[in-house]
Structure 1
């Protein structure tokens, strides 16, 4: 398992050059570029900019793993859902052009006054549409376990079953709601067949050793991405995070 970073929070104000330089120096192997941040890697950028970004990562030790969008599909308004699918298509096309493995999307709750099964069915349908688009581009769709109510692993499993697309998987998000009596095993087992990416929080605030053990048990050989609050000393923080990450895997 390899360590990377989500630019959300810690690196939100960094340029592409700073991301590559800092992560390469600290031994991080991959990055997920979150939309709307200072690096400016967004759908609609020029072909020249795409080539520039792709070439910079290709010549570095840091893999441009994924793009982190805020596309979400829980709205009761069909037009809103359709717009989010269209927006996701833009990210999937850009991810293809940049050589990324995946695009992160999410649900963001259960709207009041709408039957839960209706919302889950709508989310699943939209995700399947995204899965078709991503499949054409050779890019996976990673659904973050996110949102009030929708971050519950049992509901996320229902969403994945409603989707039923082989190109759509889960981004395990290391949420407090994963933990039952100090363990994540029960909820991990609900989603283990779908996990394509992992976001990590503070290592000591979560059963991280158990997470590593469970990931190894399913043969997970992809990346684990740090997604934590910002720090006044980001380089120092990331260096210590990596050291603890490596030590906890040996334990």
Structure 2
């Protein structure tokens, strides 16, 4: 079945079916459908996986198979995990990784790096930038489209504006180099730099089109003027990737986020980054998240009842 055909399934029956086959959608009884179709256009974005944490222990063949079996269409390969896609791979090994993805329906989005750009120490900052450059070259070789980095913290005792400027200038330089490789630098909204007013300021300095914000579904998204205003701060600078937690969690207004993304006609990759241990029935759990995604991404949006 094609992706478009899948989106035309009766999502209510899909949710009920998953519930009946193992109780995976425990929140499903609380989802009802609005009587009238949503005015928003259907989602143009697609659904995939960040390999932190649900994919951290999977070999590359098993990872690709799990995504294919569950309907997750892409992966961001987190560094240091069991799939072992690292800058240490030689040319032949990189070609083998690319071939595995080319032979599957799963898209390699790129590398989920863990490099932090807040360092006040010049040597540490240079090391982080050099590591990011190595990940960019790796992403090119395996068929990816970008590398994730972190802002990450505001060092204690330093003026915040100075930290913001250093991060922004570092991103600007990396963005220029990434663009020359056909890649993107994805600034994960992470750490004590996660408040969206700070990310907005960083991106004003890093004004290169190859640098974008990777929305990360943090509690701070809801702070201040709320998610709508915070989303507006960076909506024109969203990267091609965005991270979500489990879509059945009630702590975050996913219906609002999906609406904002649909209204913005964002057409990147929404990637599942579940913050709990990998479930025993992993493929089934991933498939359940896919069902939630389809429900939120379609022409009708589920609403919760008391």
TM-score (ref. length: structure 2):
0.79
8 Å CA contact 1:85, 1:129 repeated in 2: no
1:181 Cα deviation from its structure 2 partner: 8.1
Within 5 A, what are the aligned runs for 1:166-181? 166-180=209-223
1:44 Cα deviation from its structure 2 partner: 2.1
2:239 is the counterpart of 1:230? no
2:69 is the counterpart of 1:25? yes
8 Å CA contact 2:117, 2:128 repeated in 1: yes
Larger Rg: 2
**In the alignment, what sits opposite 1:2?**
46
Q: How many Å separate the matches in 2 of 1:84 and 1:53?
A: 24
Within 5 A, what are the aligned runs for 1:40-189? 40-148=84-192, 150-180=193-223, 183-189=226-232
Which residue, 273, 284, 287 being the options, matches 1:239? 287
What's the secondary structure of 1:193's corresponding residue?
helix
1:218 Cα deviation from its structure 2 partner: 1.4
Q: How many Å separate the matches in 1 of 2:131 and 2:177?
A: 11
Q: How many Å separate the matches in 2 of 1:176 and 1:3?
A: 22
Q: How many Å separate the matches in 1 of 2:147 and 2:176?
A: 13
* Higher RCO, 1 vs 2 (CA within 8 Å, ≥6 residues apart): 2
Deviations 1:73-116 (A, max 9, x none): 10110111111110000000111111111110011110011110
What's the secondary structure of 1:192's corresponding residue?
helix
2:236 is the counterpart of 1:206? no
Q: How many Å separate the matches in 2 of 1:154 and 1:181?
A: 10
1:232 Cα deviation from its structure 2 partner: 2.8
Query: Structure 2 vs 1, CA of residues 154 and 62 (structure 1 numbering), >3 Å: closer, same or farther?
Result: same
What's the secondary structure of 2:265's corresponding residue?
coil
8 Å CA contact 2:69, 2:283 repeated in 1: no
**In the alignment, what sits opposite 1:38?**
82
Aligned residues: 250
Tell which deviates more after alignment, 230-239 or 102-111: 230-239
Query: Structure 2 vs 1, CA of residues 156 and 23 (structure 1 numbering), >3 Å: closer, same or farther?
Result: same
Deviations 1:51-90 (A, max 9, x none): 1000000010100012000111101101111111100000
- Mark the runs of 5 or more structure 1 residues left unpaired by the alignment: none
What's the secondary structure of 2:109's corresponding residue?
strand
Tell which deviates more after alignment, 107-116 or 233-242: 233-242
How well do the aligned residues superpose, as a CA RMSD in angstroms? 1.3
- Mark the runs of 5 or more structure 2 residues left unpaired by the alignment: 1-44, 302-306
TM-score (ref. length: structure 1):
0.96
Q: How many Å separate the matches in 1 of 2:60 and 2:234?
A: 33
Query: Structure 2 vs 1, CA of residues 180 and 74 (structure 1 numbering), >3 Å: closer, same or farther?
Result: closer
